Structure 1
Amino acid sequence: MTVSLALALAAALQVAPTETVPPVHPMTLRSGGPIAADRAALRLAHADLAIEALPARRMLSARATLTLAANAAVPRIPIDLDDVLTVRSIRVDGRPLDRARWRQAGGQVVIDTPLVAGQRTTIEISYAGSPRVAKRAPWDDGFVWSEWKGKPWFGTTAQDTGCDLWWPCLDFPAGEPAAVDLHLTVPAGLSAPANGVLRGIDRLPDGRTTWHWHAGSTNPYALAISVGPYREIKGEYRSRFGNVIPLHFWHLEGKDEQAKQLFAEFAPTLDFFESTIGPYPFGDEKVGVVETPYLGMEHQTINAYGNGYKPAPEGFDWLFQHEFSHEWFGNQMTAADWDDFWLHEAFASYMQPLYGKWREGDARYLSMLLIQRQRVANRAPIVSGSSRTTREVNGETGPGTDVYFKGAWMLHSLRHLIGDRAFFAATRRLVYGRPDPKPGNFTPRFATTREFETAVAEETGKDFGWFFDVYLRQAALPDLIEQRSETALMLRWQVPGDGPFPLPVEVEVDGVRHTLPMTGGSGAIAVPQDAHVVIDPMAWLLRRSPAIERMQAPRVATP
């Protein structure tokens, strides 16, 4: 965007902030889930967003130019956008569209322009307003307005509610734009790091700057604005795959020493992921992190960091490591439907104890996993089998945090069951869509739960549907029933639905370890009456724990 265009936008689109914020429409709250045919037929080939942030008034002035393609004939073009952002004008393929041919209501802008299958069109939407404010980001969404040393400091987060909180988009996973250009105009003295590669910075006569960013295929909710009085640390990482990856960290003024310590974690964390999973997916763009006034979020190539540089017993920053893992699990490999959301969060959560193991060994691995185990709730199946919205997954009736911790423990049990070679090979297929990823031979992709199950079956030569059905499609955990006689120990799996569950069990008898194959879901081993027995001594099995259930139960106040 040129300097003159930035000035024209600011002059034309500034409006007075509204006194009262209208209630958020259910359509705006909705991200993903079942999609109407006219929305499902659309794909976003390119998004060009020219946005001026006006922090003194907590407003945006913007123009979005969307290049859309239709997979099937559609009678109209519905674009998702929060009603608090007022559309001023629309142009279609460069021509102004008469006001009677478009309407804004119910969390959408509906444009009465039909498309035939295979047709492409360019929609230019000029809009402005005060975006919704997040009260408790990132657990709710919107803008977070703050200050640092008297200067504006703010950012966006939109995972649950979706991209339509601040830009006109297709708010479902397949609505991911194939390419994005961001032109962010900000007040003097502020920086605006964003997704992708910086193409240049224009300096306007009054001291404002416009930052021009270009990114490839980007998750709609992972597109982000972050603005503040930043200082930048940068470097390079020479990948084990032969390419050189730029490293960038934008941190607040006055936090130089803490920032240097966190920046020192970038290269070893990157090496862990590349050696364990495969090539960094966005090596032609950057590894980017920006300090934000909220905890964090996996914004593609510009991960939000707000953990306050807290020291941790693991020796690394969990927040940085978790959000960075989403570059593989969430940004490179994106769940095709939010019902598959565990593919993002379970793998990202499991990567933390695996990183602890990579750094320090099994003791650290198990100690981190056992902390996660206490947070498994088992309130709803992780996978429902139906298309779901983000709020249905994260809400009261959905699996909630089980997509993180129960999913991570399921992966822990699966790795032991099938072995490291098959586990990581199947994971690689899930992430890259191929067994041999190298820089340049893969692109971002969508994936499903069934696809991971198929990859496991192909790598092992066995069907583990019984395993995934119990852990992913049932709420309750399998219960290992123990019975002991004077001469033997009998074990039996009891699972929801009473289906097959031949998950092997390790038993330690007087210090000697044995494995019971549990064919048919049960097994037995000779045990002397006075022998000391430990079942599952290395904690490989995700199973019911009465001790954890008692710990999780609501406490009754004593009189």
Structure 2
Amino acid sequence: MMKLPALASALLLLSPAIAAQDVVAERTAQSGLPLDPVRASMEVPRLALGFTVDPASRSLAGTADYTVTVDTPQDRLAFDLDPRFAISGISVDGQALAPAAWSNPAGLLTITLPRALAAGSRAQIRIAWHGAPHVAKRAPWDGGFTWARTPDGQPWVASAIQGEGCDMFWPCLDHPTKRIGLLDLSVTVPDGLVAAGNGVLIGEDHAGGWATWHWRARQPNNYGVTLQIGPYRLAEAQYRSAYGNTIPVQYWHLPGDRPEDVQYLLAGMQDYLAFFEDVVGPYPWGDEKVGLAETPHLGMEHQTINAYGNGYKRAPEGYDWLAQHEFGHEWFANQMTNATEGEMWLHEGLDTYMQPLYLLWKNGRMAYDVALWDHRKRVLSRVPLAAGDPAATGDYLDAESGWGNDIYYKGSWVTHTLRLLIGDTAFRESLRRLVYGRPDPAPGNFAPVRRTTADFATIVSEVTGRPMDWFFDAYVRQAALPRLLEERQGSRLRLRWETASALPFTMPVEVQVGDRVLVAPMADGTGMLDLGSADARHVIDPEAKILRDDPAITAWQAQERAAEAHAKD
């Protein structure tokens, strides 16, 4: 997802500290809560998911035909589902269950099985439900449905549920560790509307004033499953990949859009594709498509059908920042998925860094530096990027903690510092191993992976041949940024790193003296340099390679907060 604008930082959802009476809101408003033993045992090799969406009543009816396997014996199954929906019926292996066999009082739909499942066995579960989904107050940051109208008055519908999860409109396993092996998605809408979906379009049927659009997708990320509906027109191109395959690039847009805008966006998508394939590796869904659908909200990284609502705004750097950012999530969210919600910096931080890196690739060093400096001014570092507890989740919209801010901008700067520390060759290999699970990805030889910060640290250590725990502990597990303390005695400059980590912070430091650049290795977190003379002027880290505490930025941020508060009075 894109970062929320600064003015939206005092927002909308609930904190993790939620009163008992709000347990329903907690379950449906926060994705990735710890799994109970029943859901932890379940896997979904296949799902046929069908929706009938009625814009007139702002409601939907759905059926989910699940193939479920369990790895431990179970006499119950469970799914997450917003309890605002009514259950029409449930069957197990074709046997209809009595209503007493299921309950969904707090958003955890629990089904008592007619016979227990042995470990390693499977069952066919059919769930039918209907109702009016939660309406997003400010999509995509407050998740739910957007029921809008196109400029000429036609229905325009979009779902966006990253933080809240798939249970906002269908029964699912709402956790990043649970993916569907193969999804068959059918969406029925009033005739004249198009339902743009995940994966490959299998076909469409029209009868009785309704149209059904059939899609098939492999291994979708749960929050990436989406409904995007409108009177769309399709624009497309074919991209010839450096990996030898040809990838469809498809964009479902409103009929009144200017053709030159549509073509500009299509051309940009192909340029972004060339960048990501060059720097990271092959597009993960090349056997399906690169897809976008125009939406009434700003955007979201739905797998192979990214939501786009930036209105074709062109940045002075000559690209569409929103389209580039959301597309990057095909690698950093949909192919490589964080193992817990608390590790979301692996999605957002790595992907946010791909913006300045793309500008370096496209426009050169100045564009990179300008974009990165903008990111640096937004780093808050009030809480860790990722907590030590692997089950912990962050509060994305808590303005005081700033976690939902730092996963983007601090994550970007951590990645910048890492790249310049280990070099481009090691950085690119580390990214490939992180994203694909192997150093030699090619179309067809990899599958989606789940990752943690510890995985990333291990990969970088293996690639570089040196321990990297000190780096990730100081930058990701601790809240405060490393501080570099200086002491000048004549021509001698003593340096010492100070961090909250128990591990020595061994980040080497460059110091410019005239036209010379000296390097303090900082092997134990301290270093000393002879600058040549007592009056020599020096500049620490002249190329701004290192993310570190900067009192000037801290003072500026306080000044900006005070000015904003004064303006509100």
- TM-score grouping bracket, smaller chain normalisation: over 0.9
Extract unaligned runs of 5+ from structure 1. Answer: 1-21
Partner of 2:42: 42
Partner of 1:402: 406
Q: Quick check: 1:275 aligned with 2:259?
A: no
Partner of 2:225: 223
User: In structure 2, which of residues 250, 254, 270 is the aligned counterpart of residue 248 of structure 1?
Assistant: 250
Q: Deviations over 1:100-152 (max 9, x none)?
A: 21223211221101322111111111111100000011111100110001100
- One-letter amino acid of the counterpart of residue 524, structure 2: G
Preserved contact between residue 32 and residue 389 of structure 1 (Cα < 8 Å): no
Partner of 2:92: 92
Partner of 2:423: 419
TM, length-normalised to structure 1: 0.93
- One-letter amino acid of the counterpart of residue 506, structure 2: P
Q: Deviations over 1:287-308 (max 9, x none)?
A: 0011111111110000011111
SS in 1 for 2:216: strand
Q: Deviations over 1:59-96 (max 9, x none)?
A: 00111111111011123111111111111111111121
**Distance in 1, Cα, partners of 2:396 & 2:34:** 13
SS in 2 for 1:111: strand
| Structure 1 residue 531: Cα displacement | 2.6
Q: 1:392 to 1:292 in 2, by over 3 A?
A: same
Q: Deviations over 1:326-370 (max 9, x none)?
A: 111110111111122111111101111110000011111111111
- One-letter amino acid of the counterpart of residue 139, structure 1: W
- One-letter amino acid of the counterpart of residue 550, structure 1: A
| Structure 1 residue 454: Cα displacement | 1.0
SS in 2 for 1:60: strand
Q: Quick check: 1:135 aligned with 2:140?
A: no
Preserved contact between residue 332 and residue 346 of structure 2 (Cα < 8 Å): yes
| Structure 1 residue 186: Cα displacement | 0.9
| Structure 1 residue 398: Cα displacement | 7.0
User: In structure 2, which of residues 264, 269, 274 is the aligned counterpart of residue 266 of structure 1?
Assistant: 269
User: In structure 2, which of residues 362, 365, 377 is the aligned counterpart of residue 362 of structure 1?
Assistant: 365
**Distance in 2, Cα, partners of 1:388 & 1:314:** 40
Partner of 1:464: 468
Deviates more, 1:379-388 or 1:543-552: 379-388
**Distance in 1, Cα, partners of 2:366 & 2:161:** 37
User: In structure 1, which of residues 168, 171, 187 is the aligned counterpart of residue 171 of structure 2?
Assistant: 168
**Distance in 2, Cα, partners of 1:389 & 1:319:** 29
Q: Quick check: 1:555 aligned with 2:553?
A: no
Partner of 1:182: 185
SS in 1 for 2:196: coil
SS in 2 for 1:468: helix
Q: Quick check: 1:53 aligned with 2:53?
A: yes
Q: Deviations over 1:472-495 (max 9, x none)?
A: 110000011122233222221111
Partner of 1:7: none
Q: Deviations over 1:31-85 (max 9, x none)?
A: 2132111111111111211111100110001111111110111231111111111
SS in 2 for 1:273: helix
Partner of 1:210: 212
**Distance in 2, Cα, partners of 1:216 & 1:498:** 43
Partner of 2:19: none
User: In structure 1, which of residues 233, 236, 241 is the aligned counterpart of residue 235 of structure 2?
Assistant: 233
Preserved contact between residue 466 and residue 500 of structure 1 (Cα < 8 Å): yes
- One-letter amino acid of the counterpart of residue 472, structure 1: V
**Distance in 2, Cα, partners of 1:424 & 1:193:** 33
Preserved contact between residue 160 and residue 391 of structure 1 (Cα < 8 Å): no
| Matched ranges for 1:378-389 at <5 A | 378-388=381-391
| Structure 1 residue 542: Cα displacement | 0.1
| Structure 1 residue 385: Cα displacement | 2.1
| Matched ranges for 1:526-537 at <5 A | 526-527=530-531, 528-537=533-542
SS in 1 for 2:177: helix
- One-letter amino acid of the counterpart of residue 219, structure 1: N
Q: 1:342 to 1:308 in 2, by over 3 A?
A: same
SS in 1 for 2:332: coil
- One-letter amino acid of the counterpart of residue 413, structure 2: W
Preserved contact between residue 381 and residue 398 of structure 1 (Cα < 8 Å): no
Preserved contact between residue 341 and residue 394 of structure 2 (Cα < 8 Å): no
**Distance in 1, Cα, partners of 2:478 & 2:184:** 43
| Structure 1 residue 29: Cα displacement | 2.1
- One-letter amino acid of the counterpart of residue 536, structure 1: D
Partner of 2:63: 63
Q: Deviations over 1:151-195 (max 9, x none)?
A: 000100111110000011001112211111111111121111110
**Distance in 2, Cα, partners of 1:25 & 1:413:** 39
**Distance in 1, Cα, partners of 2:478 & 2:286:** 39
- One-letter amino acid of the counterpart of residue 139, structure 2: A
**Distance in 2, Cα, partners of 1:416 & 1:394:** 31
Deviates more, 1:254-263 or 1:536-545: 254-263
| Matched ranges for 1:312-331 at <5 A | 312-331=315-334
Preserved contact between residue 414 and residue 423 of structure 1 (Cα < 8 Å): yes
Q: 1:443 to 1:499 in 2, by over 3 A?
A: closer
| Structure 1 residue 529: Cα displacement | 3.2
Partner of 1:430: 434
Q: 1:117 to 1:397 in 2, by over 3 A?
A: farther
**Distance in 2, Cα, partners of 1:47 & 1:397:** 38
**Distance in 1, Cα, partners of 2:75 & 2:382:** 42
Partner of 1:108: 108
Preserved contact between residue 23 and residue 106 of structure 2 (Cα < 8 Å): no
SS in 2 for 1:476: coil
User: In structure 1, which of residues 471, 493, 500 is the aligned counterpart of residue 497 of structure 2?
Assistant: 493
User: In structure 2, which of residues 478, 491, 507 is the aligned counterpart of residue 503 of structure 1?
Assistant: 507
Partner of 1:545: 550
- One-letter amino acid of the counterpart of residue 522, structure 2: M
- One-letter amino acid of the counterpart of residue 69, structure 2: A
Partner of 1:311: 314
Partner of 1:5: none
**Distance in 2, Cα, partners of 1:151 & 1:249:** 19
SS in 1 for 2:31: coil
- One-letter amino acid of the counterpart of residue 64, structure 1: A
Preserved contact between residue 158 and residue 227 of structure 2 (Cα < 8 Å): yes
- One-letter amino acid of the counterpart of residue 136, structure 1: R
Q: Deviations over 1:397-420 (max 9, x none)?
A: 572221111111111111111111
| Matched ranges for 1:284-363 at <5 A | 284-363=287-366
Partner of 1:8: none
> How many residues were matched structurally?
537
| Structure 1 residue 498: Cα displacement | 5.6
Preserved contact between residue 30 and residue 389 of structure 1 (Cα < 8 Å): no
Preserved contact between residue 198 and residue 216 of structure 2 (Cα < 8 Å): yes
SS in 2 for 1:404: helix
Preserved contact between residue 138 and residue 296 of structure 1 (Cα < 8 Å): yes
| Structure 1 residue 24: Cα displacement | 5.0
SS in 2 for 1:106: coil
Of all paired residues, the percent bearing the same amino acid is: 47
